[in-house]
Every structure is written in structure tokens, then in C-alpha cells.
Chain A
Amino acid sequence: MSLLSPEPIQHWWDYYRRQPFWRLVQLFVARIFRGGGDSDTEGLDLGIGLVLTLLASPGAFVSILLFNKYGSLLQWLRGEHNVDTLLIAFPDEYFFIVLSMTVTGAVAIWRWDAIFPDRRDYMNLVHLPISTRTIFFANLVAVLFLVGLLAFDVNAASCILFPMVVSASQSHFVFFLEFAAVHAIGVVLASVFAFFAVFSILGLLMAILPPRAFRRVSSYVRGVVVIYLVALLCTSFAVPGMLRRAQGPAPLWTFLLPSCWFVGLCQSLRGRAGPVLMQLSGLALPGVAFLIVFSFCLYALGYRRQFVRIAEMADGTGVARNPRKWPWAAALGPLILRTPFQRACFRFVGKTLLRSETHRLVLTATGGLGLVLASQALMNAFTGAKSFRTAMLTPEALSIPYILTFLIIIGLRVVFELPVELRANWIFQLMLDRDRQECEPLARKVIFVLVLPWLLAITFPVYLSVAGILVASLHTLLVVTWATLLTDLLLIRFRKLPFTCTLPVFKQHSIVILISFCFGFLIYAVSTPDFESWALSEPRQMLRLLPVAIVAWYIPRHLARSTISLDRKLIFEDSAMRNFELLRLEE
């Protein structure tokens, strides 16, 4: 019998998978992917295969897009001769390291509740003849498996494709091998670092906080980590240049960006590191090692404090605090929300946005992206500006409210599509009149309530103090109008109560929608402020925007009028349009 014969391997596998420890490992691996905690996960249960494909795709796409930059023929056509490939690959390598950290960190944040065993595991496992130590080690092995799988999956495509693209103009295969090996070390270590960084934050919170406080604080901490990751990604285009220009000892900010340590490691392994990168490369391996040991210790401590003592803790059905009353909301509510449907569903939507982890994370991510882009715009506005007033009237400064409103409105529109606890929507199916649904006005009011108050409270006073009442009024009016029109456009044929409908299936026009969002952003948050900055010197020029506004106002209304009554009905299932329909005449 050959050593590579599948039978012994099969026997070995069958033997181990039936051992209690490995069965537990399988269970924990599955729960990490398929859900954990009390929250609903059915809405975003994408399946392991699809999740792994999605995680691998950014690295693959970015590598392919870079072919244009490294192709020798294209370089020759552009007139670029004797190009130092390693030099021009530096910013891209940094981007891949950041991408690897961001994706891995995002997955760790997404599966935050499922990484540690919880009450459900306790109730199901502890009464069985398994020691808590076995559960501890089984979960630890599952976590290690997850780290390995993520580090491999997220970086596999970039570890092959990126070196292939970079070495396209090289005649030696050794160059490819060396580049690929160093790149793989950098991105894999970055992935591992990102995962254990999140893991140690989680462990730290579990170790130092009581369970109730942990639950309350963890969502805020996750929000902060998401914003950090978004910021890391958004600054990845600027950091390589800053690193190259840095002289002497490494600047303080580089110590706060672990991505700089790993790019330093890659450069030092290739013998291309300057003093700054050499200094930073020294932090990479010790940093990863320290973080792994540190997170294991915290994991053990957190496990002992939270999991082993679950039975001693109250099961959470205790008396909760009375909710806070908001008199102003009680007074304003009936004015804004006219019907019982709007009042009830507005509260439902508001509470879901505040309390559902998935929805909060998506909103935090888009809000965080908005904040990062707005900060960049603000920095650009003040670069080289002669006075505060001049800076605030540049297109960059004017674009800030546009950027924020665009991303928050888009973020809200996206989260409206994400279902929550679908099995509980029977109550709406039972009570709502499908023919007289008011979902569109409801969604519009939710968006306005979340966008307009801060927009009016910040934009108008800031510009009033900087540029006077005319500019402040015009700018505020334009931003509010644009936000209103964008909301109208996004809610065309919206006929579902947010969070109660199945996740829309991937449609053929989804890519078109994605591209439309990108173009929309350019028109909304780049071209409009450009025009506005020019037109504010001659306010009558603003009237040129009127036809655009009228068209954008007319389109949704025209489409609403032309919609047949069947397409106005409230839906709870967003199914793809079938090419043919069975008539079922036998029934």
C-alpha cells in the first residue's frame, strides 16, 4: 500500500474527528463562522465558502488592477525606462499590508461575539463529561485555526498575483520567488498581528470588566477599532511617501501604525530599508510574538473570569433600569410622525439602529469612512491657505458636509436592507396593510432625523461666523437640498419596512448600482463643492444648479406615478425576478 494512499489518511481523520477534543474544535470553528452570542445572525449568514471567497477577492482584484503599472510594454509606451521595480512597488506593498490588516481585523470584529465561548456553549457543554480545561483548549485551537485560515485566505491571491505582476518586467524567476516570499512574510504577519490585536482587546475587556459592563462597552470599542481600520486604509496612499521622506529616528506616528513595521520588515529583508524603516522593522517580529503571548494570557484570564463563572452569574433577566424619557421627542413626535404606523415603526427602526450590532457596525464603518475623508479634506483645505476664511471657502472645506451626508445617507440606505431576526417579522406581516404602506416616508424621515439636525446645527453657525449670513444660508440650503434629493433618489420604489425583509439577492444590476454610487459621490461631494466654491463669489451663479435640482426632484416623483399598484405593495421577501413563472394550473 502506498504511503500516499487515501485510506490510512481517511482512517486517521475519522479517528481524530471522533475524539471529544477535536469534535469540540469542529464545533467552535463552525460557531465562529456561523454565529454566536444572542444576536441574530441569519440575515448575514453567507456560508463559509462565500465568506472565504469574498475575503480573498480584494487582494486578487487589487493585484490585477496593478498590472497596468508594472507591465513592461506599458511602461515603455509611457516612456518609463530603467524603472526600479522594488522602489515603485513600495507603496503597493504597504497598501497590501494595510489591506491584509484591515480585512483580518474587520473579520475579527465581525465575529467578536463568536470568538469566545458564551452562555449558550456553557449551557450545552458544561453538563457533559468534559472539563472546562478541554473546552478552553478546544476553543483556543479553533481560534488558532481561524487565524491560520484567515492569514492564508486573505493573502493567498496577493502572495501569488502581486509578485507575478511586479516581476512581469523581470527576466529572472528567482526575483519572483524572493519577492513573493518576502511579501508573504509581511502580509501574513500583518494579518496575524491584526487578528491578535483585536483578540487581545477583547480578552482585556473580558478580563477587567464585569459581564454587564463588558456587553455595554464592547460595542463602542468595536466602533473605535472599525474607525481605526478605516483610517488605516484611507491613509495608506499618503503614508509611503511620508515614510520615504522621514529622516533620522522614526517619527512617533510610525509607532502607532503597525503597518509601517511590517513594510519596514519587508524592505529590510530585501536590503532596501533606510534607517527609519530599519528601526521600524525591528518592531515587527517582537510585536507579533508579544501580542500572541499577551492575548493568550488575557484569553485565559477572561475565560476564567467570564466563562467558568457563568453559572454564578445572574442569567440577565433581572430588573432593568427605567428608560429615559425625552419630553422634546414626545412633543415633536406627533408633528413629524403623523400616523400610528410611522410612530411605531420609527421607534422600531431607531432601536434597531442603536441596538443591532451588525447594523451599528455597518453604520460606524460608513460614518468612520466619512470622518476620515472629511479630515483629509479639512487638512487639504488648510494646506497653504492664507486665512481661516479662505480655507473654509475652498472646495475641500465646503465638501465636508457633502461627504458626511453622502456616506451617512448611503450607509443608512444599505443598512435598511439588512434583515434582523427575520422570524420575528410575522407581527408586521400580520398587522400591516400591504396596499397602504408608508415605508418610503418612514425611511425618509429616519434619514432626515439622523442627518439634518447636526447638519443645520454645525454647518450654518460655522459659516455664519466665518463668511456671513448669505454664504452660510446658501451653503446650508444647498447641502440640505442635495441631501434631500439624494434621499429621494435612493428611496425610489422603496417598499419594505427596514430590517424586516430578506436580504436582496445579487442582481445583475448590482454592479451598475455600485458604479453609480462612485459616480454619485464624485458629482455630489466633489463637483458640487467645486462649483459652489466658484459660485459663492457671485451668488447669482448658484441659480445654475436649479435645473439639476428640478430634474433630480422630478425623476423619483415621475417613477412613483408610473409604478403599478403591484409594485407598491409592502414586501417581506426580496426575490429575484424569475425568467418564467409556473402557472400551477393543476391547483
Chain B
Amino acid sequence: MLEAVQLSKRYASIPAVQDLSFSLRPGMVLGCLGPNGSGKSTTVKMLTGLLEPTRGVVQFEGRNIQDDLHAYRKRLGYVPEEAHLYPYLTGWEYLEMVGTLRGMTDRDIECKVETLLELFSMHPHRHASIGTYSKGMRQRILLIAAIMHNPEIFIFDEPLSGLDVTSALIFKNLVQALGRAGKLVFYCSHVLEVVEKVCSDILILRQGVVIAQDSVENIGQILGESLENTFLHLVDDVDTVRVASDIVDVMRAA
């Protein structure tokens, strides 16, 4: 089980996340929602160990992940929000490097990378440099890099960004399958429909604080609304129809 216990993070004296607590059990797909600046990325970075919390701990199987970060990361698959990759490496070379760094054998790397590239329709482009890839292609490389070593914990930060319809559908089904296989999945996204469809539980953040945390069904039942309306109700008190109409008025103005 992965647990966040009263996590807080401050940048200088500005709080990014405050007293965040949740637990992620095997088989659970926890969706993390929140507007820009709500602390999602900071939370993800603390969960991956890229950032050390100012206060609180992230525990995996009852142990602080900071005690043996290396061992924790071996069991982690992470897809970051932005697809920053080395543009001069080919997709295959990048995956081979990641596999080797993860301690996979050459045969295992070759077998898995070839198959996953094929499944993600990247096989024909595997020897082209990443600099020439589209955003979606880079995203698929990141996804393969995150899953190729069969980790126990998955942290996905906007994983569908740039993916085409087929790849996105495959990925959504993959997330559900991972949940059924007993993996721990933390899924950050802005796309409410996707979170509603693939996640079993939801965590909603606003200004670094958890404002709602429950299963998808319960959150909907409590407020009797769709996830979209629930989210707007909880996070932003904005009349979106009115704002859209105002934008059109500004466009028309001479």
C-alpha cells in the first residue's frame, strides 16, 4: 500500500500542498483532479521521490520511501506531465537505456521493447530520432518506458496528452486492466470524463488542500450531479456559460 501521510510542501514560504493524506491500495486507481496551481504536480513529484516533502511522509508498504528511494523507484512506473526526452536518441535507444538502467537483461529489454513498440504502433519509427517525433509519439515512448519493467506502482501525470484516439482508448483500457491486476495506480488529469471512466477513487485538490476524496460513485451520489458539475461546484465558482459568452462579445467588439 502507498500512503501519503500529512504531506506538506512549501516553496520558500509559499505552501504548494498542505496536510495531504490518502492511501492507495492494490487494485485501486486513484484519480487526482484539480485546477492549475492546485498542487497536483507537486504531489506527483513527492510521490515519485523527486521532491522531498517539507513535512509528512510518503510510505510504501509501511516504510518511508525516502529511506530507500532507489528500491522504491525500481517498483515505480512514472509518466511525467511533459514529454521531455533526449531528441537525438532514437525511440529504441531511449527505451534500451531506460531498460538497462532499470537492471533488465538485454534479452528481456529486446523482447519487451519490440513487442510494446509494435503494440503502441511505434515499431516503424523505432530507429528515427525522438527529435522528429510528434507529441503523441513521444508520449507513447514515455508510456512504454513506464510499464516495460512491470512495476507495482504507476504514477501517470496527464498520460493521454497528444495521444490519438486509438492509443488513448488502448491506454484507458490498460489503466483499468492494471487496476484489476492488483497494481497501484495514481492518475492525474484534467480530463474529467477519462478520470470518471478509468478511476475507482478520486482525490480533488484546490490550492494545495484536499477538498474531496471518495469513490467515483460516492462523490456523484453525495452531490447528485455529474463529475464535471461536482468538480466545478467544489473547485471553481465560475459560471462557465457566462464566461464563454463574454469571450464571444469581446471577439465581436470593434
Q: Which residues of A contact B97 (CB under 8 A)?
A: 344-345, 347-348
Is A18 positioned at the interface, with any CB of B under 8 Å from its CB? no
Q: Report the Cα distance A317→B85, complex, angstroms.
A: 16
Q: Report the Cα distance A435→B70, complex, angstroms.
A: 9
12 example contacts (A-B, Cβ-Cβ < 8 A) are as follows: A38-B132, A40-B87, A317-B133, A320-B90, A320-B127, A323-B90, A344-B96, A344-B101, A347-B96, A348-B97, A352-B86, A430-B48
Check A587 against B55 for contact (C-beta < 8 Å): yes
Q: Give chain A nearest CB distance to B32 CB in angstroms.
A: 19
Q: Give chain A nearest CB distance to B111 CB in angstroms.
A: 17
Q: Which of B20-28, B76-84, B177-185 contacts A (4 or more CB under 8 A)?
A: B76-84
Check A430 against B100 for contact (C-beta < 8 Å): no
Return the CB mask of B8-52 against A: 1 if under 8 Å, else 0.
Answer: 001001000000000000000000000000000000000011100
Q: Which residues of A contact B124 (CB under 8 A)?
A: 319
Q: Give chain B nearest CB distance to A12 CB in angstroms.
A: 28
Closest to A428 in B: B101
Q: Which residues of A contact B103 (CB under 8 A)?
A: 340
Q: Report the Cα distance A433→B92, complex, angstroms.
A: 24
Q: Report the Cα distance A356→B97, complex, angstroms.
A: 17
Q: Which of A60-68, A179-187, A417-425 contacts B (4 or more CB under 8 A)?
A: A417-425
Check B101 against A432 for contact (C-beta < 8 Å): yes
Is A316 positioned at the interface, with any CB of B under 8 Å from its CB? yes
Check A317 against B48 for contact (C-beta < 8 Å): no
Is A586 positioned at the interface, with any CB of B under 8 Å from its CB? yes
Check A431 against B102 for contact (C-beta < 8 Å): yes
Q: Which residues of B contact A348 (CB under 8 A)?
A: 86, 89, 97
Check A321 against B127 for contact (C-beta < 8 Å): yes
Closest to B8 in A: A587
Is A343 positioned at the interface, with any CB of B under 8 Å from its CB? yes
From the candidates A320, A421, A424, A427, name the one contacting B128 in the complex (CB within 8 A).
Answer: A320
Please give me the 7 A-B residue pairs with the lowest Cβ-Cβ distance, nearest first: A344-B100, A316-B132, A355-B88, A423-B84, A433-B70, A320-B127, A320-B128
Q: Report the Cα distance A587→B12, complex, angstroms.
A: 9
Q: Report the Cα distance A38→B86, complex, angstroms.
A: 11
Q: Which residues of B contact A356 (CB under 8 A)?
A: 88
Check B87 against A421 for contact (C-beta < 8 Å): yes
Check B128 against A426 for contact (C-beta < 8 Å): no
Q: Report the Cα distance A316→B87, complex, angstroms.
A: 13
Is B112 positioned at the interface, with any CB of A under 8 Å from its CB? no
From the candidates B76, B82, B132, name the one contacting A315 in the complex (CB within 8 A).
Answer: B132
Is A351 positioned at the interface, with any CB of B under 8 Å from its CB? yes
Q: Which residues of A contact B127 (CB under 8 A)?
A: 319-323
Check B98 against A424 for contact (C-beta < 8 Å): no
Q: Report the Cα distance A317→B129, complex, angstroms.
A: 8
Closest to A37 in B: B131
Q: Report the Cα distance A426→B78, complex, angstroms.
A: 10
Check B86 against A426 for contact (C-beta < 8 Å): no
Q: A351-B89, A587-B54 are in contact. Are A318 and B128 (CB under 8 A)?
A: yes
Return the CB mask of A290-317 against B: 1 if under 8 Å, else 0.
Answer: 0000000000000000000000000111
Q: Which residues of B contact A421 (CB under 8 A)?
A: 84-87
Q: Which residues of B contact A435 (CB under 8 A)?
A: 70
Return the CB mask of A555-587 against B: 1 if under 8 Å, else 0.
Answer: 000000000000000000000000000000011
Other A-B pairs, 18, CB within 8 Å; known A39-B131, A340-B100, A348-B86: A315-B132, A317-B125, A319-B128, A320-B90, A320-B128, A343-B100, A345-B97, A352-B88, A424-B85, A427-B101, A429-B50, A430-B49, A430-B50, A430-B76, A431-B98, A435-B70, A586-B13, A587-B54
Q: Which residues of B contact A321 (CB under 8 A)?
A: 127
Q: Report the Cα distance A38→B84, complex, angstroms.
A: 13
Check B96 against A424 for contact (C-beta < 8 Å): no
Check A340 against B101 for contact (C-beta < 8 Å): yes
Is B166 positioned at the interface, with any CB of A under 8 Å from its CB? no
Q: Which residues of A contact B87 (CB under 8 A)?
A: 38-40, 421
Q: Give chain A nearest CB distance to B129 CB in angstroms.
A: 8
Check A423 against B133 for contact (C-beta < 8 Å): no
Return the CB mask of A85-102 against B: 1 if under 8 Å, else 0.
Answer: 000000000000000000
Is B134 positioned at the interface, with any CB of A under 8 Å from its CB? yes
Closest to A337 in B: B100
Q: Which residues of B contact A428 (CB under 8 A)?
A: 101
Q: Give chain A nearest CB distance to B78 CB in angstroms.
A: 6
Q: Which residues of A contact B101 (CB under 8 A)?
A: 340-341, 344-345, 427-428, 431-432
Q: Which residues of A contact B93 (CB under 8 A)?
A: 323, 347, 351
Q: Give chain B nearest CB distance to A200 CB in angstroms.
A: 27
Q: Report the Cα distance A319→B86, complex, angstroms.
A: 19
A403-445 residues with Cβ-Cβ distance < 8 A to B are 420-421, 423-424, 426-433, 435-436
Return the CB mask of B84-122 against A: 1 if under 8 Å, else 0.
Answer: 111111101100111011110000000000000000000
Closest to B98 in A: A427
Q: Give chain A nearest CB distance to B157 CB in angstroms.
A: 11
Closest to B137 in A: A317
Closest to B142 in A: A427
A24-77 residues with Cβ-Cβ distance < 8 A to B are 38-40
Check A38 against B131 for contact (C-beta < 8 Å): yes
Q: Report the Cα distance A352→B128, complex, angstroms.
A: 15
Closest to A341 in B: B101
Is B145 positioned at the interface, with any CB of A under 8 Å from its CB? yes
Q: Which residues of B contact A436 (CB under 8 A)?
A: 70
Q: Report the Cα distance A423→B87, complex, angstroms.
A: 11
A357-403 residues with Cβ-Cβ distance < 8 A to B are none
Closest to A330 in B: B106
Is B73 positioned at the interface, with any CB of A under 8 Å from its CB? yes
Q: A344-B97, A356-B88, A426-B80 are in contact. Are A431 and B137 (CB under 8 A)?
A: no
Q: Give chain A nearest CB distance to B58 CB in angstroms.
A: 14
From the candidates A315, A344, A345, A424, name the one contacting B84 in the complex (CB within 8 A).
Answer: A424
Check A423 against B82 for contact (C-beta < 8 Å): yes
Closest to B92 in A: A323
